[in-house]
Amino acid sequence: MTVRVTVADPMVHRCDVLAVGVFAAPGRLEGLAAKLDQALGGALARALHDEKFTAELGKVFVLHTLGKLPAARVAIVGLGDRDAFTIDRLRLAAASVARAAQDRRLSRLALAPLQHRDWEPAAIAAARAEGAILGTYAFTKYRKEKSHGVDVDLLAANRAEATALEAGRRRGQVVAEAVNYARDLVNEPPNVLTPDALAGEARRAARGTKLKVQVWGPQDLKKRGLEVILAVGGASAHTPRLILMDYAPARPRRTIALAGKGVTFDTGGVDLKTPEGMATMKEDMSGAAAVLATMRALPLLQPAVRVTAAIAAVENAVGSRAMRPGDVVTAVNGTTIEITNTDAEGRLILADAVAHLAAGGPDEIIDLATLTGAASVALGPYAAAVMGSDQGLVDRLIGAGARAGERLVPFPLYEEYRRAMRSDIADIKNAASRHGGAQKGAAFIGEFAGKVPWAHVDIAPVAFLDGEEGTSPVLPRGGTGFGVRTLLEYLAGRG
């Protein structure tokens, strides 16, 4: 998709479809919608009345202009209640109309100008560009039939407005393309996206940029004492990797470390999953995908923070070399871990990754992982869980998610959760009872952050949607790329 800013009067702009937003229950058409209705001899108002169009958020009605306007069609997009309208709702509306154009195989969509007293033009353009690109995403790599491409014009009244819109358009496009890149990684089949293939993606992401990438294979991991990652990936023919990335601007304000869970396929190991539970386990590297996509976007967005990342990439398989319940392994920081459940493997590889990052002395550590079914049970496919050792960091992440259009819900992390992870024979165990499972998994990871302020985002509820429940105009079925928008907003340091 190409999104561009165009200076044009919507009444005379040629396109396949001109989209105009309307709020619910004004009783009559207003502004540009009223002008279009007048040009169409009242046909638009009559059609909307006949269709009982209520301007519910995201609803789209398309009418042929029959040559009465340069635009071949007019799309009226519901914006919902005027008093409840937000930037995120604007993003959803843009996604809805872009998808409607795609479904009708229309190639050129124009979004009529929108002004709002509380929003800068750049913010409006960013939300619209994000929505249009996210809303038309489809993973068609392995299908003969490809999705229809739609180009989008963001209409501006004059060149001054166009300049402001262009800055927002560029950011919105970079962010949305990063999300879609993460979606592509998650949607790849597990026989294609192995740990080594994921490392290859990191190397490609760094080409032509100032990103630095190191990839540690089995021998490097053994030499450096990352025994836990080796234990989790020990049964697979696709050997583990630790992917290290570094974005370093000239004068960074601070250093933020990101850790991503990259289980490219999860059988559960010796504690084998059910067939139903295993069916979508290519998604178990969604945290890694979000971190990699974020790092890939940083050279384009150029935030004034240093960002280091550690992505632990493994395949949790079954075999003679698989870790077993009762095994004890030692993390890179010297902490001993009793394996009590081989299907609680994500927190294990994050133990080594987070401990490695903490040793570098960052100001903060944030990890993303499809960690627990408990978070999914608690939240459904509507939000991710967030918790950590530093409430200020947690609150800032929640705020960044709200601005970016991703819900993060805070979970408590009481001392009792940490105590529940004590082992009788080692320093800590990787699984306890199922009650409070999301918090216990987080408490385990937190042990390896040391004294560095740390937050954990459990994206299991929203990383991969395999039913209609939870989907929205910007969250498709399959990989959603959840977390990328929040991380990029947080690293930008806005708000």
Residue 168 · residue 20 · CB < 8 Å: no
> If DSSP states are collapsed to H, E and C, what string results for the chain?
CCEEEEECCCCCCCCCEEEEEECCCCCCCCHHHHHHHHHCCCHHHHHHHHCCCCCCCCCEEEEECCCCCCCCEEEEEECCCHHHCCHHHHHHHHHHHHHHHHHCCCCEEEECCCCCCCCCHHHHHHHHHHHHHHHCCCCCCCCCCCCCCCEEEEEECCHHHHHHHHHHHHHHHHHHHHHHHHHHHHHCCCCCCCHHHHHHHHHHHHCCCCCEEEEECHHHHHHHCCHHHHHHCCCCCCCCEEEEEEECCCCCCCEEEEEEEEEEEECCCCCCCCHHHHCCHHHHHHHHHHHHHHHHHHHHHCCCCEEEEEEEEEEECCCCCCCCCCCEEECCCCCEEECCCCCCCHHHHHHHHHHHHHHCCCCEEEEEECCCHHHHHHHHHHCEEEEECCHHHHHHHHHHHHHHCCCEEECCCCHHHHHHCCCCCCCEECCCCCCCHHHHHHHHHHCCCCCCCEEEEECCCCCEECCCCCCECCECCEECCCCHHHHHHHHHCCC
State the pLDDT at residue 319: 96
Percent of the chain scored above 70 by pLDDT? 100
| pLDDT value at 27 more than 80 | no
Tell me what pLDDT residue 384 has: 98
pLDDT for 118: 86
> At 213, phi and psi to the nearest 5?
-130, 135
- What digits encode the pLDDT tens for the residues 106-126? 999 999 998 888 899 999 999
Q: Residue 66: is it exposed, middle or buried by C-beta count within 10 angstroms (0-12/13-18/19+)? A: exposed
Active-site option among 169, 306, 347, 407 = 347
Q: Which of 104, 203, 273, 396 is catalytic?
A: 273
Please indicate whether residue 169 is annotated as part of the active site.
no
Phi, psi of 493 (to 5 degrees): 70, 25
Q: Per-residue pLDDT tens for 255-295?
A: 999 999 999 999 999 999 999 999 999 999 999 999 999 99
Query: Which among 226, 439, 235 is positioned nearest to 337, based on CA atoms?
Result: 226
Q: Give the tens place of pLDDT for each residue, 47-96.
A: 999 999 999 999 999 999 999 999 999 999 999 999 999 999 999 999 99
For residue 53, with 0-12 CB atoms within 10 Å meaning exposed, 13-18 middle and 19 or more buried, which class applies? middle
Residue 465, pLDDT above cutoff 80:
yes
Give the distance, in angstroms, between the CA of residue 211 and the centroid of all CA atoms in the same chain. Answer: 21
> In this structure, are residues 77 and 95 in contact, taking their beta carbons and an 8 Å threshold?
no
- In this prediction, residue 143 carries a pLDDT of 96
Q: Is the pTM of this model over 0.95?
A: yes
Percent of the chain residues past pLDDT 90, beyond the cut: 96
494 band by pLDDT with thresholds 50, 70 and 90: low
Q: How far apart are the C-alpha atoms of 444 and 446, rounded to whole Å?
A: 5
How far is the C-alpha of 393 from the C-alpha of 334, rounded, in Å? 27
> In this structure, are strands 17-22 and 336-338 parallel, antiparallel, or unpaired?
unpaired
Sign for the pseudo-dihedral over CA of 289, 295, 298, 299: negative
Look up 14 and say whether it is catalytic: no
Give tens-digit pLDDT for 168-211: 999 999 999 999 999 999 999 999 999 999 999 999 999 999 99
Residue 396 has pLDDT above 70, yes or no: yes
Domains and CATH numbers, the chain: 3-159 (3.40.220.10), 181-492 (3.40.630.10)
User: What is the model's pLDDT at position 117?
Assistant: 81
pLDDT digit string (tens) for 286-342?
999 999 999 999 999 999 999 999 999 999 999 999 999 999 999 999 999 999 999
